[in-house]
């Protein structure tokens, strides 16, 4: 009785390995070959499975025209969406580079202008330096918050 259960397990394992096809390890392949040499039923099962796989692979597949058109439409839609996103990213990169370059070039002049204005108005250095900081940072914060809000809205509108 125990031998029958063991033999059923061997057949079951062999059929599972046959179903996995080329995805089994070298050791499993050798075990399967060894079993198939001794077992006619599993050998016939493997032959039938191989024939079925070959038939399925050689059968031509034809898609419905509506499915092809719908797929093409979706691919074009997503390609256009990716193109727009790439263009926006390019614009943002150029804008950031321009702002960074102009800020780097103008900081020394703005600093001198604020120092001169602070001396002219007889303000303590801490006051005109704080004014410079507010003048320099506020536009970037306003633009950043605006872009973040608009970007979030555009993303949610575009995903619908």
Could you report the per-residue pLDDT of 32-68, keeping only the tens digit for each?
888 888 888 888 988 888 888 888 788 887 888 999 9
CB within 8 Å of 103: residues ≥ 6 apart = 136
- pLDDT number for residue 88: 85
- Tell me how many degrees the CA angle 80-84-87 measures, rounded to the nearest 5: 140
Q: Where are the domains of the chain?
A: 2-58, 79-159
How many CB atoms within 10 Å of residue 32?
A: 20
The pLDDT tens digits for 122-143 are 999 999 999 999 988 888 888 8
- Tell me how many degrees the CA angle 86-98-84 measures, rounded to the nearest 5: 15
Contact yes or no for 36/11 (Cβ under 8 A): no
């Amino acid at each position: 009785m125990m031998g029958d259960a063991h033999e059923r397990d061997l057949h079951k394992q062999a059929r599972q390995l046959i179903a996995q096809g080329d995805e089994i390890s070298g050791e499993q392949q050798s075990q399967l070959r060894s079993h198939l040499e001794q077992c006619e039923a599993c050998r016939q099962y493997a032959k039938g499975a191989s024939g079925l796989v070959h038939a399925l692979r050689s059968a031509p597949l034809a898609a419905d025209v509506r499915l092809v058109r719908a797929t093409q439409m979706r691919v074009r839609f997503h390609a256009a969406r990716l193109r727009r996103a790439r263009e926006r990213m390019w614009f943002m990169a150029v804008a950031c580079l321009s702002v960074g370059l102009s800020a780097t070039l103008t900081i020394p002049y703005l600093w001198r202008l604020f120092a001169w204005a602070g001396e002219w108005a007889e303000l303590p250095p801490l006051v005109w330096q704080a004014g410079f900081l507010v003048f320099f940072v506020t536009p970037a914060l306003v633009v950043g918050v605006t872009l973040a809000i608009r970007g979030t809205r555009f993303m949610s509108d575009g995903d619908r």
